[in-house]
Amino acid sequence: MQVNEQETIIQGTPGSPGIAFGPVHVEARGFSAPDVYEISKDEIPVEQERFRQAMEKTKTELDQLRHHIEKLSGEEEGKIFDAHLMVLEDRTLLDRVNQAIVERRQNSEYAFYAVMQNFLEAMRRTNDSYLKERAADIDDVSQRVLRNFQHDDDRHKNNRPDHQHILVAYDLSPSDTASIDRKHVLGFATEQGSVNSHTAILARSLGIPAIVGLEGSVIDIQTLSDCILDGYTGKLILNPSAETVRIYQENSEQKKRARKELEKLREEKTTTTDGHRITLSANIEFTNELPLVKESGAEGVGLFRTEFYLLEGREMPGEIEQARVYTEVAESTRPNQAIIRTLDAGGDKIPAEPLAHPEPNPFLGWRGIRVSLTRKALFKEQLRAILRASAHGKLGIMFPMISGLREVLAAKEVVKRSMDELHKENIPFDPKIEIGVMIEIPSAAMMAGEIAREVDFFSIGTNDLIQYTVAVDRVNHYVAHLYKPTHPAVIRLMDITVRGAKDNGIWTGVCGEMAGDLAITPLLVGLGIDELSVSTYKLPSIKKAVRSLSQSECSEMMKEILRARSSPDIAALSENMAQLSYPELLD
Ligand code: PEP
Ligand code: MG
């Protein structure tokens, strides 16, 4: 590592633990240039054909989108795509790109990119507000076309380097994160985002060290500078001194040794010092995490977030393909349970389908069970797939974003219909499959008693429960300081939920990030939570923490917590107990 430049530390928020060393690669905002390469004379027609196909594909996509929007919202709304379609049919544009391929002997996506950039520059420089507005349409359609180029030779890659590096980006969407090339990206840091965004959650489950909400602008960081990314403290250290490198290398070794120690608990049960059993399960987003679930010593999967798998490709997988994946989860987790959460599209995740207008408030919009209950055919397809897989292991079905009883009844009705159909078709399934709901909206927590009579379990989604209780967008770093897991209102809602469940004889889990927070474990044990579901990375230390706590002491402390008036008071009570019980696990 090069150590001759000035060491600079940029602070951000720790997004995913781990330390990475390597050169930086910066991706700024906006649509970036595709790779450029020279083509031979013979390749000109091939490149022109690739360009034609990309345009055709984009046209088909936009046509479909327009039809879809017309069906949903009417003809007027569909017209917003006319401007986009006109761009694709513009003769001057087509001629210029084809000419650029011939004259410059460059690959077609780069020729297209260069021509579009020229157009855009010219439009942005005018004072005409109509033209300025159209620049946004052109920008949008250009990105679509660029995504639609067929890359069937290995000269084309995305423009990330093919050496190991630390990716520094303005922002990464959850789907960008899900498709990160693990061989080359050692860690990432983003200017946007916060610790409870799905981007950060995915980084944790993929085991990629990450920082979110970097201070300053990533444009000021130079590609190829050496750096250390510290996902524990949120520090991005550019051009680290030899001494800093040495300290970090030692630190990293020490952390690895501590993890090895924890691995010894793998086969042990998660039982408090006074014999209270808690089920400790894992959160997963991809089936390739299943071996890690086993290695971590988890007793099942408490949350399989299916949206990343379902929405990752261009088309949603059908019933049989989904059933194959859920069967893989069931078989790998057997005899323990795996809880499959139905599609939770929307919010900061991938939308279920393209929308005519961006939602003004996606977190308060068309998300989770709201999508499933308006797209019943898709919902039923997923339910039938889960039910088919339930013949191969112990599965549970869980509905996200439940806000009240009616949604629970409506969702259960679709489960019942799916069961009836499978029964008639002689397809085996587990008729006793557990059905549960996420409690992540305050209105559902308040109705816990009523909802509990209709389901087999609750899983508290604290990530959303916090955001909806204190009205703080979980991905907005401007208000991240107000996002308080220990806010008294959040804890009281959790208490109402647990009591509602216990009164009706059902169990309660916690699958939000709070379940993996060592400082909060005493509070969760005190609340009487039956199951904790955490990322596999966190699981061994949470097991050790629970095994160091006494349930009766924690529930005694809980009485005080439920009387507390502020978040710091609650945090202090739980943290003190954690300090006393397992100081070696806390940083
Ligand atoms: C939650 O909200 O706590 C949760 C586990 O669901 P997600 O993070 O996927 O919204
Ligand atoms: Mg949620």
Q: Which atom of ligand 1 is closest in space to residue 514's alpha carbon?
A: 3
CA dist., res. 541 & res. 62, Å (int): 49
Residue nearest to atom 6 of ligand 1 (CA): 461
Q: Please give the pLDDT value at position 2.
A: 40
What's at 234, amino acid-wise?
G
CA dist., res. 48 & res. 102, Å (int): 9
Q: Is the shortest distance between the CB of 495 and ligand 1 below 6 Å?
A: no
Q: Which atom of ligand 1 is closest in space to residue 283's alpha carbon?
A: 5
Phi, psi of 230 (to 5 degrees): -105, 100
Q: Please give the pLDDT value at position 157.
A: 43
Q: Is 511 a catalytic residue?
A: yes
Q: Is 198 a catalytic residue?
A: yes
Q: Which atom of ligand 1 is closest in space to residue 465's alpha carbon?
A: 2
Strands 279-284, 457-460: parallel, antiparallel or unpaired by DSSP?
A: unpaired
State the architecture of 274-585 in CATH terms.
Alpha-Beta Barrel (3.20)
348 in Cβ contact with 475 (< 8 Å): yes
Task: Take residue 513 and report the two structure tokens written for it.
Answer: 């990030």
Q: Please give the pLDDT value at position 202.
A: 84
The CA distances from residue 6 to 178, 188, 215, 223, in Å, are: 34, 21, 18, 15
Distance 363 CA to ligand 1 centre (A): 12
10-38 per-residue burial string, b: 16 or more CB within 10 A, e: under 16:
bebbbbbbbbbbbbbbbbeeeeeebeeee
Residue nearest to atom 4 of ligand 1 (CA): 461
Nearest Cα residue to 227 out of 238, 213, 212, 241: 238
CA dist., res. 137 & res. 84, Å (int): 6
Q: Is the shortest distance between the CB of 542 and ligand 1 below 6 Å?
A: no
| Dihedral sign of CA atoms 195, 197, 201, 202 in order | negative
- Domain 2-30+159-257: top CATH class: alpha beta
Q: Is-same-fold flag (41-156; 274-585)?
A: no
Q: Which atom of ligand 1 is closest in space to residue 305's alpha carbon?
A: 9
pLDDT tens string for the chain (587 positions)? 344 468 999 999 999 989 999 999 887 555 566 777 888 888 999 999 999 999 998 888 788 777 766 766 567 666 767 777 888 888 888 999 999 899 888 889 888 988 887 777 777 777 776 776 677 677 778 877 887 886 654 444 456 778 899 999 888 877 678 778 888 999 999 988 888 888 888 888 788 999 999 988 776 787 778 999 999 999 999 999 999 999 999 988 888 888 888 888 899 999 999 999 999 999 999 898 899 899 999 999 999 999 988 887 667 899 999 999 999 999 999 999 999 999 999 888 777 776 667 788 889 999 999 999 999 999 999 999 999 999 999 999 999 999 999 999 999 999 999 999 999 999 999 999 999 999 999 999 999 999 999 999 999 999 999 999 999 998 887 898 999 999 999 999 999 999 999 999 999 999 999 999 999 999 999 999 999 999 998 999 999 999 999 999 999 999 999 999 999 999 999 999 999 999 999 97
Mutate to test the pocket of ligand 1, among 438, 441, 469, 514 (most ligand atoms within 8 A of CB): 438
Q: Is the shortest distance between the CB of 440 and ligand 1 below 6 Å?
A: yes
Q: Which atom of ligand 1 is closest in space to residue 347's alpha carbon?
A: 10
Nearest Cα residue to 105 out of 59, 169, 36: 36
Residues present in the chain in total? 587
Distance 439 CA to ligand 1 centre (A): 10
The CA distances from residue 16 to 203, 234, 327, 436, in Å, are: 6, 9, 29, 29
Q: Is the shortest distance between the CB of 442 and ligand 1 below 6 Å?
A: no
Q: Please give the pLDDT value at position 1.
A: 39
Q: Is the shortest distance between the CB of 461 and ligand 1 below 6 Å?
A: yes
Q: Please give the pLDDT value at position 84.
A: 77
Q: Is the shortest distance between the CB of 497 and ligand 1 below 6 Å?
A: no
From 25, 165, 198, 477, active-site residue: 198
Q: Inter-axis angle of helices 91-104 and 44-73, to 10 degrees?
A: 150
The CA distances from residue 220 to 126, 137, 189, 231, 265, in Å, are: 29, 29, 14, 21, 45
Q: Please give the pLDDT value at position 563.
A: 97
CB atoms within 10 A of CB 51: 22
**Ligand with smallest separation from the Cα of 512:** 1
Q: Please give the pLDDT value at position 154.
A: 43
From 25, 392, 511, 554, active-site residue: 511
Angle, CA of 544, 550 and 554, to the nearest 5°: 110
**Ligand with smallest separation from the Cα of 198:** 1
Distance 512 CA to ligand 1 centre (A): 5
Nearest Cα residue to 202 out of 382, 46, 45, 350: 350
557 in Cβ contact with 505 (< 8 Å): no
For the domain 41-156, what is the CATH superfamily, name and number? PtsI, HPr-binding domain (1.10.274.10)
Distance 438 CA to ligand 1 centre (A): 8
Q: Please give the pLDDT value at position 164.
A: 93
Q: Is the shortest distance between the CB of 307 and ligand 1 below 6 Å?
A: no
215 in Cβ contact with 236 (< 8 Å): no
Q: Is the shortest distance between the CB of 240 and ligand 1 below 6 Å?
A: no
**Ligand with smallest separation from the Cα of 513:** 1
Q: What is the DSSP string of 100-123?
A: HHHHH-B-HHHHHHHHHHHHHHHH
**Ligand with smallest separation from the Cα of 303:** 1
Q: Is the shortest distance between the CB of 516 and ligand 1 below 6 Å?
A: no
Give residue limits of the domains in the chain.
2-30+159-257, 41-156, 274-585
Distance 429 CA to ligand 1 centre (A): 27
Q: What is the DSSP string of 522-587?
A: HHHHHHT-SEEEEETTTHHHHHHHHHT--HHHHHHHHHHHHH--SHHHHHHHHHHHHHHH-GGG--
Q: Is the shortest distance between the CB of 146 and ligand 1 below 6 Å?
A: no
Distance 242 CA to ligand 2 centre (A): 43
Q: Is the shortest distance between the CB of 512 and ligand 1 below 6 Å?
A: yes
Q: Is the shortest distance between the CB of 464 and ligand 1 below 6 Å?
A: yes
Distance 139 CA to ligand 2 centre (A): 32
Distance 124 CA to ligand 2 centre (A): 40
Distance 348 CA to ligand 1 centre (A): 11
What's at 406, amino acid-wise?
R
Q: What is the DSSP string of 311-358?
A: HSSSS---HHHHHHHHHHHHHHHTTSEEEEEP---STTS--SS--SS-
Q: Which atom of ligand 1 is closest in space to residue 440's alpha carbon?
A: 2
191 in Cβ contact with 26 (< 8 Å): no
Q: Is the shortest distance between the CB of 463 and ligand 1 below 6 Å?
A: yes
Helix (H, G, I), strand (E, B) or coil at 376: helix
The DSSP code for 236 is E
Q: Which atom of ligand 1 is closest in space to residue 307's alpha carbon?
A: 9
